[in-house]
Structure 1
Amino acid sequence: MRQFPRPIVVVSRCLEFDKVRYDGQVLHSRIVRDLEPFVDYIKVCPEVEIGLGVPREPIRIVRKDGSYRLIQPATGEDLTDRMNSFSEVFIEELHGVDGFIFKSKSPTIGLRNIKVYAGVENAPVVERSTGFFAGKLLEMYPGYPLEEEDRLRNTRIRQHFLTHLYTFAGLRELRKSANLVDVQDFLSRNEFLFLAYNKDIQKKMFELVQDGAKPIDNVLDELESLLKQLMVKPPDHQANIEAARAMFQLVAIDLSKKENKFFEAVLGRYEQNKICFSTVLELLKLHFLVSGKDPAYHSLLLPYPEELILEVDEDRDKDFWK
C-alpha cells in the first residue's frame, strides 16, 4: 500500500470552517470537506485578521490614478495599508506549504476575475484582477497549486489540482531527507506522470541526477524550479496517450500479440473520446498486477489517495423507471 505525504494547505476560513464571511455565513465546499482527513489546513480570513467584524460592510478594489486601493464604500475607510501589512507578516511566517484553496470573487482572497472599480461608489468595473491578499501569495508562490473553491467543482480541474498538490507535498518530504537515492526514487515514481505533463522538462529533471556530481541542495532547488514549470497545466489527451504507451512497454514483453493489440485499441478509443483516461489507467494497473509489479508505485496510476477520487455517476442507482 502506497503511503502518501500529508499536504499542508492554506484555505479560506469561510469554506466549511467558520462564519467569517462578510454576511456572517459559512460556505460549503466539497473539495475542502473531502481533503480534511488527508491534509493539514492553515485557515485564514484576511478581512477578519485586519480587524473587520462579522458581519461587515462589503469592500472593493478601486483603481485611482494607476494605484489600487482596498476600500469599504459604506465607511469610506481605506484598508490598503492594513491588508498589505497583514499579508507580508502572514507570508513571512508561512513555511512548508504545499497548496492553496481560496474563496472565489473575494476582493482579498480571490484568485481570478476580481472586479476592480473606477471609484468608491456608483462607479463602473474597469478591469478584472486578483484579490489583494491572494495576489501577494501568487507573487511568492508561483507555480504552486492555487485554486478557488468554485473551479474545483470541475472534475478535470480537481484532478489536476490534487495531482499537483500531492506532487509538491512529495517534494517537500524529499527535502527532509535530502539525499540522492530518494531524489532518484522520486523521479522514478513520477517518471510517466512527468512525461505526460511535459517530456522536455521531464528529461531535464532526470539529467539533474545523471552523474551525481551536483550538491543535493542545488539538485532540489533546480528540481523545484522545473516542477513549477511542469505542472502549470494538465496534460492533453495526446500526452496522456504517449505516457500510457511508454508505461505499457514495461509489461508488453510478457504479453501476447493479441493483448498488445487490445491495449492499442483501448488507446484508440480514448483518443476518439469514447472512454475516459481512467479506463486506460485501470487496464494498465491490471497488467502491472499480473506481471508482479506494484501499480501503486507509479504516480501516473495513483497520483493521490483513492479516497479522493470522485464518483463517476452520482445517479447510478437512481430508479428512472419507477
Structure 2
Amino acid sequence: MFPKPVIVVSKCLGFDACRYNGQAIYAPFVDSLKAHVDFIPVCPEVEIGLGVPRQPIRMAMVKKVPHLYQPSTERVLTEGMVAFARGFFNTLPAVDGFILKNRSPSCGPSDVKVYEGLSKTAGSKRGAGFFASCAAERFPGVPMEDEGRLKNYELREQFLIRLYSFARFRQARASGRMRDLVAYQSTHKLLLLAWNQTRFRACGKVVANHEKRPVADVFALYNEELKKALATRPRNASMINTLMHAFGWVSDGLSRDEKAYFLESLEEYRDERIPLSALLRLIKGYAVRFEQDYLLSQVLLNPFPLPLVKLSDSGKGR
C-alpha cells in the first residue's frame, strides 16, 4: 500500500481556468496523479488580486532584488506576493512535492524570463518565478518540477521516486516510533545507495543514534539528511553499481543465458535505450522467483504505484 503524497500544484494545470488569458492547461501527468495523491491547488496571481483574464506580469531584478511587475499598469506586485506566499506556506500541512506551471513569472521553477529592470525594453535572463523561489527557500530539498519537464520519462520517474520516498518518511515520522525509522532506513537501503552513498551512510549514523537523542530530534536530523541525499539526480554509474549489487542476491540461481541477458539489459540502460523501471522489474521478477525477501522489501524495486509508469517521453529536459 502506497501513502498518498501531498503536492502543491498550480491551479491552472487542469483545476481551474485561471491563466492570464482565461484558460486552463491540460497536463496529462498531473491528471494521472489525481487518484494517487492529495493535491493542494493554488494560483498565486489570482490570490494577490489579479483578475482572470489579466494583463501579463513579469519577474524582474532591480539592484539584485527580485520583483514582480505588471508593465501595462506599472504596478509593482512584490509585497503582495511575499505576503501571500508567507501566509499560504504557514497554513500548509507537511508537503511532499510541488508541480508548478512552467515558465510562469510567478510559478515557474526554472526557465522563466527574468528581466533586468522594470523597463518594458529591458533584456532578460532565465531563472525561477517569484512564488517558486519563495517555495524553494521555504521547503529546501522538497521535490519541485514543472509540468513541461515532467513530460520527460527519466525526470518524471525520478520525481516520483523522490516524491514517494518523502511521503513514506512523513508517514514514519508521524508515528513517532524509532522502529519505524529503522524500518524506513532498511527498506530504502538500495534506493539511497543509488542516489548518494555518502548520504546513505550519514542517514545510517543518524538512525544508530549513538548520542541517545530524543526520537523527535532523530527524525528531524534524518529528514535533513534525506533531503540532501535525494537533492540531486543519481549518477548513472552509481545506479548501475546498485543494480549489480541487487543482482548479486539472485544471480547464483540463474542460468548462463539469464545472466547474460541481464548484463545486456544493463548495458542498454547505460546507453539510455531502456528505462530504469525495466531493470527494476527484471530484478523484482528474479526476487519473486527465488523468494528473496530482502530484495522484495526494497522500495527501489517498487518505488511508486505501477499505473503511474508511463513510457511516453518528450526527449527534452534531460
Structures share fold, TM-score greater than 0.5: yes
For 1:304 and 1:27, locate their aligned partners in 2 and report how far apart those are by CA, in whole Å.
Answer: 25
Q: CA-to-partner distance for each residue in 1:231-282, whole Å, 9 max, x for gaps?
A: 1222232112111111223334445666556544543454455544333222
Could you say which residue in structure 2 is the equivalent of 1:168? 166
Could you say which residue in structure 2 is the equivalent of 1:141? 139
For 1:313 and 1:73, locate their aligned partners in 2 and report how far apart those are by CA, in whole Å.
Answer: 37
Query: How far 1:224 moved relative to its partner?
Result: 1.0
- Secondary structure of 2:218's counterpart equals helix
Query: How far 1:62 moved relative to its partner?
Result: 3.0
Question: Aligned-pair RMSD on alpha carbons?
Answer: 2.2
Contact kept, 8 Å, 1:7 with 1:39, in 2: the verdict is yes
- Secondary structure of 2:160's counterpart equals helix
Could you say which residue in structure 2 is the equivalent of 1:306? 306
Q: CA-to-partner distance for each residue in 1:84-124, whole Å, 9 max, x for gaps?
A: 11111111111211100000111111111322224445312
Query: How far 1:63 moved relative to its partner?
Result: 2.9
Contact kept, 8 Å, 1:101 with 1:146, in 2: the verdict is yes
Residue ranges of structure 2 left out of the alignment (5+ in a row): none
For 2:283 and 2:204, locate their aligned partners in 1 and report how far apart those are by CA, in whole Å.
Answer: 24
- Letter of the 2:114 partner, please give it: V
Paired residue total? 312
Contact kept, 8 Å, 1:103 with 1:109, in 2: the verdict is yes
Could you say which residue in structure 1 is the equivalent of 2:54? 56
- Secondary structure of 1:208's counterpart equals helix
- Secondary structure of 1:116's counterpart equals strand
For 1:82 and 1:118, locate their aligned partners in 2 and report how far apart those are by CA, in whole Å.
Answer: 21
Match of 1:203 among 198, 201, 204: 201
- Secondary structure of 1:75's counterpart equals coil
- Letter of the 2:201 partner, please give it: K
Q: Structure 1 residues 181 and 253 mapped into 2: Cα distance closer, same or farther (>3 Å)?
A: farther
Q: Structure 1 residues 85 and 261 mapped into 2: Cα distance closer, same or farther (>3 Å)?
A: same
- Secondary structure of 1:209's counterpart equals helix
Q: Structure 1 residues 279 and 43 mapped into 2: Cα distance closer, same or farther (>3 Å)?
A: closer
Give TM-score scaled by structure 2 length: 0.90
- Secondary structure of 1:152's counterpart equals helix
Query: How far 1:29 moved relative to its partner?
Result: 0.7
Q: Structure 1 residues 50 and 273 mapped into 2: Cα distance closer, same or farther (>3 Å)?
A: closer
Which shows bigger deviation, 52-61 or 273-282? 273-282
Q: Map of 1:168-317 to 2, 5 A cutoff?
A: 168-210=166-208, 213-255=212-254, 259-260=258-259, 263-273=262-272, 275-293=274-292, 297-311=297-311
For 2:172 and 2:6, locate their aligned partners in 1 and report how far apart those are by CA, in whole Å.
Answer: 15
Query: How far 1:188 moved relative to its partner?
Result: 1.5
Percentage of identical aligned residues: 37
- Letter of the 2:290 partner, please give it: S
Q: Structure 1 residues 312 and 105 mapped into 2: Cα distance closer, same or farther (>3 Å)?
A: closer
- Secondary structure of 2:249's counterpart equals helix
Contact kept, 8 Å, 1:196 with 1:239, in 2: the verdict is yes
Residue ranges of structure 1 left out of the alignment (5+ in a row): 315-322
Query: How far 1:293 moved relative to its partner?
Result: 3.3
Give TM-score scaled by structure 1 length: 0.89
- Secondary structure of 1:38's counterpart equals coil
- Letter of the 1:43 partner, please give it: P
Could you say which residue in structure 2 is the equivalent of 1:14? 12
- Letter of the 2:66 partner, please give it: Y
- Secondary structure of 1:192's counterpart equals helix
For 1:237 and 1:63, locate their aligned partners in 2 and report how far apart those are by CA, in whole Å.
Answer: 37
Q: Structure 1 residues 254 and 67 mapped into 2: Cα distance closer, same or farther (>3 Å)?
A: closer
Could you say which residue in structure 1 is the equivalent of 2:44? 46
Contact kept, 8 Å, 2:151 with 2:313, in 1: the verdict is no
